[in-house]
Amino acid sequence: MKKYAIAIHGGAGTLSRTLMDSNKEQMYRQGLEQAIQSGIRILENEGTALDAVEAAVAALEDNPLFNAGRGSVFTHKGEHEMDACIMSGIDLAAGAVCGVRQIKNPIKLARCVMEKSEHVLLAASGAEVFAQVHQIETMPEAYFHDALRYEQWQQIKNSTQTALDHNLPSEKKFGTVGAVALDVTGNLAAATSTGGMTNKQFGRVGDTPIPGCGTYANNHTCAVSCTGHGEYFIKATAAYDVSALMEYKIISLQDAAELVIHQKLMSIGGEGGMIAIDKFGNICMPFNSEGMYRASYSPEEGLRCAIY
């Protein structure tokens, strides 16, 4: 049997166990399982890693439990500005969008930028016009309005504080979503999508849509999708750093990913985690926060789903 594997995340942070009951936990697990199944179906039918990560991320974007697409957090202005990136390990092709509004699935727009433009990253209104031209689905503002996210924003909107979705005191939902996959032809891909951080200044862009920071894929090494306090992941060039450590220091995926999350990021105060997969289908999902919503699947290991 040819090897394939996939991993997804739904954000990392201070996922307080006291605020989590078994019902809620079940809902999160179901959300993760549904999303990973959409990726698995593609991979088991010999589809591409790129299609699999896009499908898994789009499913998470449609689920209001997660801070991406429909469930995106509020900016300081009380709006939703979303970032997303997709990258193919075959040729380092990448597509990304940042600060987009009313796009139902920012990850689909990122894929469209990758395939139908000569650019890598389109921002705000330029990306929205591009979306219109390519008939990418939009939704009215009300689709993105979520009562609990609104309540989270109310708690800090009068300050200059920004917060990871999952670190708010009344934390009920958790963040950013991502997927990494290896397909049967040996190709790797990564995708990440987010509403960013609650109460962020409008125009703020995190690590998610920046290839090498929140998202990276290279068939020679690995595919990576990050979640956490984006400013630190940008400073650490976190996703690419895992690949560079593997390529130049010849260390394993696990050693490289753990070094970045537990040493490099922690030494500068960066909180969060990542999911990563190498060309052999090895998966690792380190985080330095209390928890990270995550799931993985390979025919050998079966489905695994965890929060803490």
Structure tokens at 86: 């997709």
Residue 174 CB, shortest distance to ligand ASP, in Å, is: 8
Closest CA to 51 of 115, 97, 104, 129: 115
Could you tell me the sign of the dihedral formed by the alpha carbons of 134, 60, 301, 16, in that order?
A: positive
Burial bucket for residue 61 (CB in 10 Å: 0-12, 13-18, 19+)? buried
User: Binders of ligand ASP among 155-184, rule CB under 6 A?
Assistant: 164-165, 175-176
176 is catalytic: yes
Give the number of residues written for the chain.
308
Using CB under 6 A, which of the segments 57-65, 216-224, 227-235, 262-270 binds ligand ASP? Answer: 227-235
- Give the binding range for ligand ASP (CB under 6 A) out of 43-51, 141-149, 207-215, 243-251: 207-215
Q: Which is nearer to ligand ASP, 15 or 253 (CB)?
A: 15
> E strands of 21-155, at which residues?
82-88, 94-100, 121-123
Q: Is 270 in the site for ligand ASP (CB under 6 A)?
A: no
The answer to whether 69 contacts ligand ASP (rule: CB under 6 A) is no
The Cα 168–Cα 173 span in angstroms is: 9
Q: Looking at this protein, which amino acid is placed at residue 283?
A: I
Helices 106-116 and 124-133, axial angle in degrees (round to 10) = 80
Interaction between residue 207 and ligand ASP (CB under 6 A)? yes
Q: How far is the CB of 305 from ligand ASP (least distance, A)?
A: 19
Is position 215 an interface residue for ligand ASP (rule: CB under 6 A)? no
* HEC string for 136-155: CCECCHHHHCCHHHHHHHHH
- State the CB neighbour count (10 A cutoff) for residue 155: 15
Contact pick of 194, 199, 215, 237 for ligand ASP (by CB under 6 A): 194
Which range binds ligand ASP by CB under 6 A, 91-99, 148-156, 200-208, 235-243?
200-208
Candidate list 212, 228, 270, 291; residue touching ligand ASP; CB under 6 A: 228
Single out the catalytic residue among 162, 176, 194, 227: 176
Binding site for ligand ASP (CB under 6 A): 11, 67, 164-165, 175-176, 194, 196-197, 206-208, 214, 227-230
- Residues marked as catalytic: 176
